[in-house]
Amino acid sequence: MTPVGIDAVEIWTGKLQLDLPETFAPAKDEDPDKYRKGIGLEHSSFPDTYEDIVTMGANAAKRLLERKGLTPSDIGRIDVATESAFDNSKPVSTYIAGCLEQYYDEDFRHANKGERKFACVAGTQSVDDAYNWIRAGRNRGRAALVIATDTALYARGDPGEATQGAGAVAMLIDENPDLVEISTEQGYGSMDETDFLKPNQQFPSVDGKRSMQVYLSRMREAVEDFESVAWDMHPDDFAYIPFHTPFPGMVRKAALLGYRHMSRDTELEDELADELGYQPRQDEYTSWDAYEEAIRDYMDELKDTDQYRAWYDKAIEPTLGISRHVGNWYTGSVHIARIAALKYAAETDRELAGEKLLIGSYGSGAQAEIHAETVQEGWREEIAELNIDAQIDARYDLSYEEYEQVHDRHNHDKTATDLEEFTEPEDEFVFTGWGRMSER
């Protein structure tokens, strides 16, 4: 079977940054270690006043098409995943296609366009849609452009304010991909939940603590469902496990749960159980509650073992390298985690071709999806093309007062065109007013 997967990626970060331990924590009278050690974020990206989900998505996509030497006739569909849409009818992909068409003699008339919504998991769902379209043989030799673009902003004073972010990831889905082949098998954990929602409102209504529990429950179900169609997994089967990363502290919890699940009924579990004085069999306990308590105690001990720490440092920590400096990008977040891991492998001269990744995507509301990927021969050259470090370093560092202004402006007076800019746009799409988009 011809491999299908992600051929290339490009990232576009919002051009402003908020330093969480140094600027945000003191303004909120909080301990900077809450951010450095607890939540695990150093910075959040913010859009400048001339940026929004359209400009960030179009700028990422333009870089991708230019770099791969593609024109609109090479692209058969454009899917945008976002939970920050501003139009209930016209999909964001049409706005982005309109921007891109300014560059080419051709247009995207022939391309199927759409917008996917299921909170943060919509980015992976769009990749799935593109994969299925190619597998079904409907692509007529064309590739799919998938763009995950979001401004993840919370109301001021909401605990979610600690986990904001803004940026876009553009991905080219094609046959014989250079980056990763996607597995046909998938696992799901899906349930009607109200932990995080935005019913016709700019900022989410969120029950933060509950949202973390729902993330973990759905992720566990997705892993079990994936195992039922794929194989019984062992933690060492995967070079990296990129999870949806609203903030690194959430991934610490997901990784521990994943490790415990993947090592159950194995020699590894027996060894650890012996070492930690725990009985893995439920029938050794007098009640379900006692069993659950024993699992909790076991997990508490497990996370401090050398074995678990070594695995975490190898398979999980490298996935957090970008997220730590940009915050939550909702639909793009798990795709940033994948890129961070591959980038780390390239920087540490690790050979990855043929190795497997396990991707843990999640969207509130709520659904988790698990699938596997196999790294392809061309991965190193593709990753070497990314300029994300330069983009991160070039961001304007906001004072707390400037942050408040930017936050107000993105809440969302789309008719205002005379707003102060913090950075100078350079050869890129900018927001120039409602329904108009142009390039400077």
Instruction: Please give the residue ranges that form the binding site for ligand CAA (CB under 6 A).
Output: 31, 33-34, 37-39, 120, 159-160, 162-163, 196, 206, 208-209, 211-212, 215, 244, 246, 249-250, 328, 330, 362, 364
Phi and psi dihedrals of 80, rounded to 5? -115, 130
Q: Which residue is nearest to ligand CAA (CB)?
A: 38
Helical (H) or strand (E) element with 144: strand 143-152
CA distance 277 to 21: 39
The answer to whether the beta carbons of residues 186 and 19 sit under 8 Å apart is no
Name 169's bridge partners: 11, 148
Q: What single letter denotes the amino acid at residue 20?
A: L
Rounded to whole angstroms, how far apart are CA atoms 13 and 11?
6
User: 261: exposed, middle or buried (C-beta count within 10 Å: 0-12, 13-18, 19+)?
Assistant: middle
Are 165 and 20 in contact by the 8 Å Cβ rule? The answer is no
From 51, 83, 193, 221, active-site residue: 83
Q: Please say which residue, 93 or 211, places its beta carbon nearer to ligand CAA.
A: 211
Smallest separation, CB 351 to ligand CAA (Å): 32
Q: Let me know if 99 is a catalytic residue.
A: no
Exposed/middle/buried for residue 268 (C-beta within 10 Å: 0-12, 13-18, 19+): middle
**Is residue 67 a contact partner of residue 102, using CB atoms and an 8 Å limit?**
no
Cβ contact 178:135 at 8 Å: no
Identify the residue whose tokens are 């954990």.
Answer: 189
In the complex, the smallest distance separating the C-beta of residue 117 from ligand CAA, rounded to whole angstroms, is 14
Question: Which position among 244, 325, 335, 371 bears the catalytic label?
Answer: 244
Residue 150 Cβ vs ligand CAA, minimum distance, rounded to whole Å: 9
Nearest distance from C-beta of residue 172 to ligand CAA, angstroms? 24
> Considering the complex, what minimum distance in angstroms separates the CB of residue 92 from ligand CAA?
18
CB-based contact 299:260 (threshold 8 Å) = yes
Residue 244 known to be catalytic: yes
CB of 72 or CB of 204, closer to ligand CAA? 204
**CA–CA gap between residue 217 and residue 419 (Å, rounded):** 43
Give the shortest CB-427-to-ligand CAA separation in angstroms: 31
Rounded least distance, CB 33 to ligand CAA, Å = 3
Which of 332, 35, 34, 299 lies closest to 167, judged by CA?
A: 332
CA dihedral over 53, 58, 60, 61, signed as positive or negative: positive
Query: Which is nearer to ligand CAA, 180 or 256 (by Cβ)?
Result: 256
CA dihedral of residues 150, 154, 159, 162 (deg, nearest 10): 50
**If you compute the radius of gyration of the chain from its CA atoms, what whole number of angstroms results?**
22
Name the residue with tokens 């190898």.
314
By beta-carbon proximity to ligand CAA, the closer residue of 213 and 282 is 213
Of the residues 120, 373, 382, 407, only one is catalytic, namely 120
Q: In the block, which residue shows the tokens 């725990």?
A: 278
Parallel, antiparallel or unpaired: strands 437-439 and 429-431: antiparallel
Cα–Cα distance, 41 to 19 (Å, whole number): 9
> Which residues pair with residue 368 across a beta bridge?
189, 362
Least gap, CB of 274 to ligand CAA (angstroms): 27
Report the residue number, 162 or 341, with the smaller CB distance to ligand CAA. 162
Least Å distance, CB 44 to ligand CAA, is 11
Q: Is 120 a catalytic residue?
A: yes
CA quadruple 170, 10, 219, 305: dihedral, nearest 10? 180
Residues known to be catalytic:
83, 120, 244
